[in-house]
């Protein structure tokens, strides 16, 4: 194992140990043959720390998969908080609901089934944070919607900002990688944002919306 991998394990074991609920979500994903593309525990803990730092009460997630990241996000909220998570695959939405029930987070979570570009226009602005972790090609559109829905002082968060190295591979012109590049560029250049990428797992873009 590389030193980097050992250090990731060290951080995860010390700061982000998984409980039975989180382990169970990953096990179920495996058993159902879903790809293991959930966030990592150390990334989940980083998201939680960021949410706690701003006292987040409402979070929007785009892309629930089986609810692994949703459990990390919702657990970082106060009892009267609310995670809204958008999921287009009904089987994944059902798994996410099951995960939230097992984590006793039903009251703090809401799974909205549908394509993100259909659901986003129906949501009320004012979210304390938006975590984007869905299909990659439409990311420029997800950026615009996220900015519209975020309150001033809120956090914009993007998973897979490195696209497994694809963003620096000039021969990679796939729509997914171009989508990530577009989001990263938009975040870097937007005068409303202070933004950077934290090199955790596959890159977590972290930005704060400083003005409307």
Can you give the binding site for ligand DHB, defined by CB under 6 A? 37, 133, 159-160, 202
Report, in Å, the least distance between residue 164 CB and ligand DHB. Answer: 7
Report, in angstroms and rounded to the nearest whole number, the Rg of the chain calculated over CA atoms.
Answer: 16
Q: Closer to ligand DHB at the Cβ: 178 or 202?
A: 202
Q: Which stretch binds Mg ion (CB under 5 A): 21-29, 112-120, 152-160, 172-180?
A: 152-160
Q: Closer to ligand DHB at the Cβ: 42 or 133?
A: 133
The residue within the footprint of Mg ion, chosen from 76, 133, 138, 139 (CB under 5 A), is: 133
Q: Closer to ligand DHB at the Cβ: 37 or 208?
A: 37
Report, in Å, the least distance between residue 123 CB and ligand DHB. Answer: 21
Please tell me whether residue 87 binds Mg ion under the rule CB under 5 A: no
Tokens describing residue 81: 């908080």
Report, in Å, the least distance between residue 144 CB and ligand DHB. Answer: 20
Q: Which stretch binds Mg ion (CB under 5 A): 27-35, 40-48, 156-164, 181-189?
A: 156-164
Q: 127-132 and 109-113: which strand pairing?
A: unpaired
Tokens describing residue 30: 């495996």
Report, in Å, the least distance between residue 56 CB and ligand DHB. Answer: 21
**Closest C-alpha to 149, from 185, 111, 119:** 119
Residues at the interface with Mg ion (CB under 5 A) = 133, 159-160
């Amino acid at each position: 194992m590389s030193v980097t991998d050992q250090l990731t394990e060290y951080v995860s074991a010390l700061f982000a140990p998984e409980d039975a609920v989180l382990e169970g979500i990953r096990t179920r994903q495996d058993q159902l043959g879903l790809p293991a593309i959930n966030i990592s525990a150390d990334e989940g803990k980083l998201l939680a720390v960021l949410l706690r730092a701003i006292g987040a009460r409402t979070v929007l997630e785009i892309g629930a998969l089986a609810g692994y990241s949703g459990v990390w996000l919702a657990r970082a909220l106060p009892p009267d908080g609310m995670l809204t998570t958008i999921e287009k695959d009904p089987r994944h939405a059902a798994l996410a609901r099951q995960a939230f029930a097992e984590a006793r987070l039903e009251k703090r979570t809401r799974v909205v089934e549908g394509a993100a570009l259909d659901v986003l226009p129906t949501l009320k602005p004012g979210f304390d944070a938006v975590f984007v972790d869905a299909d990659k090609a439409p990311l420029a559109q997800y950026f615009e919607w996220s900015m519209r829905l975020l309150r001033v002082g809120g956090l914009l968060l993007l998973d897979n900002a490195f696209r497994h190295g694809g963003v620096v591979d000039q021969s990679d012109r796939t729509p997914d990688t171009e989508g990530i590049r577009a989001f990263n560029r938009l975040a870097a250049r937007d005068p409303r944002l202070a933004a950077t990428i934290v090199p955790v797992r596959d890159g977590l873009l972290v930005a704060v919306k400083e003005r409307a």
